[in-house]
Amino acid sequence: MNLFSKWFGNKPIEQKLILSNLIVIILVSIPVNIIMLTYEYFALRSHLIEEIRIQSSIVAESTAAAVAFHDESAASETLSIFRDSPYLLEVHLVLPDNTILQSYFPTKKTFIVKEFKASTSIEESFTFSTMTIKKPIYLRQQFVGSVIMVNSLYIFYSRLIWYILIVMLVLGIGFIFARLLATRISKMIVKPLSELTDLTQKIMREKDYSTSITINNTADEFGSLSRSFTEMMSQIHSRDLNLKHLAYYDRVTSIPNRHFFEERISQSVDNAKKHKINCYLLMIDLDDFKIVNDTLGHHIGDLLLKNVSKKLSTILRKDDSIFRIGGDEFAILIENIEDNKCVKQIAQKIINAISTPVELEGHQVKVGASIGISSFPTYSHDVITLMSTADSAMYVAKGKGKNSFSVYHK
């Protein structure tokens, strides 16, 4: 039983359902068929015995006069009526003195009966294959002899075998249909679960919790599981987005942070290599930001950073990327631009915007911006050199005094 439980437990649910259905069908059909077969055995047997009894009565009745007159030819003629009887093997008409008046063998002369004794009582005896019946013959209530009939039970066994064969055939066909039906039903039951399993495996493989799933909106447990799974996926996706936002975006300004910048600059450089275009990097350092922070506090400092990022977003195109990469440092990635001139114009716009005083919670706040500009592949050959050259240019700009920009050159 333990082995079966282990074996059964390891089977897929679809096979478990099919197997359990088939096991139930077999467990139900076996006793039902045994009962039916037993009933049929006794019904067929008693029916045949009744037929034989009736036939012996007919023989006794129809031969009575011939036996009374000892008319052998009339007796023979009467008995020959039973030549087509399917079970009669031999019949003997015995006179009261135990002599045989007439014997009749529809097929072959067998003489299964060994003792010929007339009797006024009805006697029946059975072997595996024959039934012998002895019946008294009366003519108008006058005992005139006995009829002894030997009948084959072959027809009974033949009918029984046919019955068993037909039952087995019907069972076989029924079993095949049950198997097909069980498979179909099992597939129907297991399908949503399989889909859900495939989906979870795909999500595990691709680690993509944003994958949309078709909700199995049935009222059963699978529907409930599907809805719960969808809700869980949505929560995980939301949490991931949140984590991603925390990981890639600056908490103060809500623009991408240094981590995001490092990934993005690599993509931009690759893209520039691939399409043979220029990629510009602008490194911005705010002038006097430390003073604002120290004198007006971090709160105002944060508000100022937000203001700066807002100004940058307004100035730049939609495709350009802005990052906060340090305390008062910003980086801008510009792609698909014609030449240095345009970049310089953008840098000047930025300086102008940032250097414009701004009122933050009743304080007039003014800062400046120093911008270092570099490009790939003009002034650098990879991400690191692009960043270092832009950084160098920024320090050059800082050296020039506040609110200026510098383009890197070798």
Partner 1 sequence: MKKLILIPFIVAIFTIQNIQAKALPEYTIKAAYLYNFALLTQWSSSNENQSDEFNLCFYKEDFGIASDTLKNKIMHEKKIKVSNINSIEEAQKCQMVFIRKEENIQELQLVQTLSQSQVLIVTDNEKIENSHITILSENTKLVFNVNLKYLKHTNLAVSSHLLKLAKKIIQ
Which of residues 71, 195, 240, 262 is near partner 1 by CB under 8 A? 71
Q: Is the peptide bond before 377 cis (omega within 30 degrees of 0)?
A: yes
Taking CB under 8 A as the rule, does residue 36 contact partner 1?
no
Which of residues 19, 22, 68, 277 is near partner 1 by CB under 8 A? 68
Which of residues 41, 143, 157, 175 is near partner 1 by CB under 8 A? 143
Which of residues 20, 38, 80, 99 is near partner 1 by CB under 8 A? 99
CA distances from 174 to 14, 28, 169, 187 (A): 20, 13, 8, 20
Nearer to partner 1, 144 or 373 (CB): 144
For the CB of residue 48, give the shortest distance to partner 1 in the complex, in Å: 29
Q: Which stretch binds partner 1 (CB under 8 A): 58-66, 175-183, 186-194, 245-253?
A: 58-66
Q: Which stretch binds partner 1 (CB under 8 A): 136-144, 173-181, 231-239, 361-369?
A: 136-144
Which of residues 8, 39, 42, 69 is near partner 1 by CB under 8 A? 69
AA letter at 43: A
Do the strands 123-126 and 88-94 form a parallel or antiparallel pair, or are they unpaired?
unpaired
**Contacts by 155-164, CB closer than 8 A, 24 or more apart:** 155/48, 155/86, 155/87, 156/44, 156/45, 156/48, 157/129, 159/44, 159/48, 160/40, 160/41, 160/44, 163/37, 163/40, 163/44, 164/37
Which of residues 16, 45, 53, 70 is near partner 1 by CB under 8 A? 70
Angle at alpha carbon of residue 299, lines to 298 and 301, rounded to 5°: 60
| Footprint on residues 242-301 left by partner 1 (CB under 8 A) | none
Taking CB under 8 A as the rule, does residue 121 contact partner 1?
no
Which of residues 48, 64, 282, 343 is near partner 1 by CB under 8 A? 64
Residues, the chain, total?
410
Taking CB under 8 A as the rule, does residue 58 contact partner 1?
no
Nearer to partner 1, 74 or 185 (CB): 74
For the CB of residue 54, give the shortest distance to partner 1 in the complex, in Å: 20
Which of residues 17, 18, 52, 66 is near partner 1 by CB under 8 A? 66
Nearer to partner 1, 88 or 95 (CB): 95
Angle at alpha carbon of residue 255, lines to 344 and 234, rounded to 5°: 145
Nearer to partner 1, 144 or 316 (CB): 144
Nearer to partner 1, 139 or 196 (CB): 139
CA distance 118 to 97: 7
Burial (CB < 10 A; 0-12, 13-18, 19+), residue 287, is: buried
First to last CA, the chain: 84
Q: Are 326 and 283 in contact (CB under 8 A)?
A: no
Q: How many residues bind partner 1 (CB under 8 A)?
A: 17
Q: Are 253 and 309 in contact (CB under 8 A)?
A: yes
For the CB of residue 137, give the shortest distance to partner 1 in the complex, in Å: 12
**If we measure between CA atoms, which residue out of 273, 272, 271, 245 comes closest to residue 259?**
245
Nearer to partner 1, 78 or 226 (CB): 78
Give me the phi and psi of 117, to 5 degrees please: -135, 115
Q: Which residues, including other chains, have CB under 8 Å from residue 331's CB and lie 6 or more apart?
A: 261, 265, 281, 282, 283, 284, 322, 323, 325, 390
For the CB of residue 115, give the shortest distance to partner 1 in the complex, in Å: 17
Taking CB under 8 A as the rule, does residue 122 contact partner 1?
no
Taking CB under 8 A as the rule, does residue 96 contact partner 1?
yes
Taking CB under 8 A as the rule, does residue 60 contact partner 1?
no
SS3 for 356? coil
CA distance 25 to 174: 10
Taking CB under 8 A as the rule, does residue 341 contact partner 1?
no
For the CB of residue 142, give the shortest distance to partner 1 in the complex, in Å: 6
For the CB of residue 164, give the shortest distance to partner 1 in the complex, in Å: 45
Query: HSE of 172 in the Cβ direction (CA atoms, 13 Å)?
Result: 6
Binding site for partner 1 (CB under 8 A): 64-66, 68-71, 74, 95-97, 99, 139-140, 142-144
